[in-house]
Amino acid sequence: MKPKRLFLAAALAAAWLVGASGATAQTGASIVTPATAATPRFDAPSDIARGRSIFIGTCGAYCHRINAANGDAPNLFDCDWLHGESDDEVFHTITHGVSGTRMVAFGGALPDEDIRRIVAYLKSASQCKK
Amino acid sequence: MIGSRFARASTAVLALVALVATAGLAQAADPPAAGTNSAEIPLPPPPTAWYANPPVGASAGPVTQDLLAKSPADPSQWLLYGGGYRNFRNSPVKSLNAATVKSLHVAWAAPTGTTGQFEASPVVYGGVMYITTSYNRLMALDAKTGAFLWRYDVKLPDDLRLCCGPANRGVAIGGDLVFMATLDAHLIAFDRMTGKVAWNVVLADYKDGYSATSAPLIIGNLVYTGIAGGEFGAGGFLDAYDLKTGKQVWRVHTVPGQDAAVLKSWAGDSWKSGGAPAWTTGAYDAETDTLFWTVGNPSPDWNGDTRAGDNLYSDSVLALDPKTGKMKWYFQFTPHDVWDFDGNTQLFLIDTEFGGKPVKAIAQPNRNGYFYLLDRVTGKFLRASQYVEQLNWAKGVDDKGRPMVDPDALPQDSATKRVCPSNLGGMNGSWSGAYDPVTGLVYAPSIEACQTYQKGIVTYVKGIPFMGGMPDTTDANKNKSYGLLSAIDVKTGKVKWRYRDAKPMMSGVVTTAGGVLFTANMRGEALAFDQATGDKLWSFRMGGAARGQPIVYEIDGKPYVAIPSGGWASIDGFAGAGSILPEGGQIFVFSLDK
């Protein structure tokens, strides 16, 4: 486990142990945690620009698309999050993948910071009407 | 738990009863052994195969090298993906002509039971049709009636590394075996008469980004298969295996690291994750004993910043000694490709004329929009001519065969220029074309679409997508993509006639000695055209978007035309051929009343 991920895991565990409101242990494919205080958002303009470039270079093409009218991978800009919409949930989905689909686990392949930057880009580019 | 076990056992029994009742010849070969319904003894997995008992097609005898070399001269057989070793996909059946084709009717049909694109070309031998479906289901059917004879469903892992869908394009047949390459990168040999597995070898670890989708090729006692993985940076290769034992005889890497000239064509260590998959089926020239195999895109697809150089042997054709794999020559179509212009479209080994002299040539409608003519003895470039309507990534091809790239067409950080053809082509290796020696025309179905390209940050990690960019499906989004079937004169490189369809043309072609060719479109229609004039002669609504490779054969003097139906929404939409049509494969076989 990389140091950053170890840190994140420790932070999550600590939040759970001290009974932070709403925190739960990880179950199955989803995680619900408000431990955002321990997880920087990486949402400065330079982070979002890097997140966009990684999204284009790594997540796009035959899988996700910016214009998702034609594709089978989920549209990531329509606010319809299949595996949880919080930043941590989206981070978790990217990190661990989705079993039984083409969505492989990027954890360990991409640095956690870059996965956070992808999340920040996705949220910044969302076309959600909410 | 017990309930689910009983449910599984009863399902197996029901399937067994249903098959025996309907097919007669078929039976589940591995039913649970007596006593396995005890709670203490785990049940075997649900049956995934129905073997033939008694064996089918036994009287035909083994498929010899002589038969393969002559295919498809005997109209009762269709033995190779390309019809014959020279890939003409030209049937000797004469009874299908402009007068009779209007009387074609459905003789039989069969479901695949799977979604995803149904891209196979059937093989027919001994009265049996062998056809594969998406997700590696292999079915043996009575070629005359469509009755199921045996069936094998490969158990695939749920974390496959696929760029472009669960496709399979068919089997190879040789001796008494049929061969299928799988999405989890195995090569499996089946007894052609029973469906039982003779051997099963791992080509590569699918978790490294590998998969196999195309029909293998057989020459003598060797069976050849390439590999996919160019969207994962997985190093391409072509393998030869002993037909009887499955023992590997040789492997040719498409980016051979021991070759200094190759290494010079890749910046730094970029060759190590350079992809260059050999994902389609090759061709064989018996006269010069040369195996030709094509190579796909360098990785990452759309960002060439880290792999400066020509990136050999990506986007090339390799001429090899079939016994050893030793290279005789190569030709690279698209040096330093940054558009995903795999060089993997169909090779036609045609004896023609160039400059007023006879030449043993290779013709290829390349994914990059040019129709190439090479000398297949020397590898010398002869000519490239545009066969698509829209092409602007290059300003032409020079006299050595090198494209003159428009710098504005290179992917940028933000997409700007509309570039043609699309990254899928033009023509694409996932479908076939055909040639007619009488008209001298190659028939190439193609996508007509343009895209904008942008590149992004990508890092190579084994088994993770490594594409480096994103084509924006500009024309597809605006419903501006369309399709062509182009009839290209091999002697001149000029298009003699074109059929234009409202959707990209992504199904293969078969030509016949009766002067009628068959193909299908993404709007669900089987189509027949006059090979000389392009006149549309016949159509039939199959229903599904057509992605398969039609064949023609004859049994008891009656002609049969087999055309697969069934698309895959993702890539179809990517190409601009998305539609209301649901997925689900079905093969239609048409015939004439005697």
Kindly state whether B476 is in contact with chain A, defined as any CB-CB distance less than 8 angstroms. yes
| pLDDT tens digits, B53-87 | 999 999 999 999 999 999 999 999 999 999 999 99
For chain B, counts of helices (H) and of strands (E): 5, 40
pLDDT value at residue A127: 82
Q: State the pLDDT confidence band at B464, using cuts at 50, 70 and 90.
A: confident
From B368, B413, B428, B417, select the one nearest B394 (Cα to Cα).
B368
Residue B504 has pLDDT above 70, yes or no: yes
**Which two structure tokens, joined as six digits, stand for A50?**
């890097």
Q: State the pLDDT confidence band at A21, using cuts at 50, 70 and 90.
A: very low
Kindly state whether B152 is in contact with chain A, defined as any CB-CB distance less than 8 angstroms. no
How many Å lie between the alpha carbon of B435 and the closest alpha carbon of chain A?
31
How many Å lie between the alpha carbon of A22 and the closest alpha carbon of chain B?
33
Best mutation target, A2, A63, A64, A70, to test chain B (most B CBs within 10 A): A70
From A66, A82, A76, A69, select the one nearest A122 (Cα to Cα).
A76
Nearest CA in chain A to B208: A104
How many Å lie between the alpha carbon of B457 and the closest alpha carbon of chain A?
5
| pLDDT tens digits, B227-245 | 999 999 999 999 999 999 9
Residues of A in contact with B164 (CB under 8 A): 62
Best mutation target, A2, A53, A58, to test chain B (most B CBs within 10 A): A58
CA distance B379 to B292: 11
Residue A10 has pLDDT above 60, yes or no: no
How many Å lie between the alpha carbon of A61 and the closest alpha carbon of chain B?
4
Region B29-34: mean pLDDT is 36
pLDDT value at residue B15: 38
DSSP string, B227-287: -B-TTTTPPPEEEEEETTT--EEEEEESS-TT-HHHHTTSSTTGGGG-B----S--EEETT
Residue B1 has pLDDT above 60, yes or no: no
pLDDT value at residue B34: 34
State which amino acid sits at residue A74.
P
Mean pLDDT of chain B: 92
Region B330-358: mean pLDDT is 97
Nearest by CB to B455, which of A57, A62, A65? A57
Catalytic residue annotation of B:
340
Residue A26 has pLDDT above 50, yes or no: no
* Cβ atoms of B276 and B330 closer than 8 Å: no
**Structure-model confidence comparison of residues B579 and B169, the more confident one:** B169
Region B281-291: mean pLDDT is 98
pLDDT value at residue B102: 97
* Range in A10-14, A62-66, B168-172, B290-294 the model is least confident about: A10-14
Query: What percent of chain B is modeled with pLDDT above 90?
Result: 86
User: What residues contact B45, with CB distance under 8 A and at least 6 apart?
Assistant: B155
What are the angstrom distances between the C-alpha of B113 and each of B136, B138, B188, B349?
Answer: 11, 12, 21, 36
From B136, B150, B145, select the one nearest B181 (Cα to Cα).
B136
Residues of B in contact with A99 (CB under 8 A): 158-159
Residues of B in contact with A67 (CB under 8 A): 472-473, 477
Region B189-206: mean pLDDT is 97
Across the interface, whether the CB atoms of B465 and A58 are under 8 A apart is answered: yes
**Which two structure tokens, joined as six digits, stand for B84?**
């014959």
Residues 89-128 of A with CB under 8 A from B: 97, 99-100, 102, 104, 106, 108-110
Chains A, B: CB contacts within 8 A come to 99
Across the interface, whether the CB atoms of B459 and A71 are under 8 A apart is answered: no
Most confident range, picked from B46-55, B400-409, B413-422: B400-409
Query: What percent of chain B is modeled with pLDDT above 70?
Result: 92
Residue B269 has pLDDT above 50, yes or no: yes
| pLDDT tens digits, A48-99 | 999 999 999 988 777 887 765 555 678 898 888 899 999 999 999 999 998 8
Across the interface, whether the CB atoms of A109 and B162 are under 8 A apart is answered: no
pLDDT value at residue B17: 34
Residue B449 has pLDDT above 70, yes or no: yes
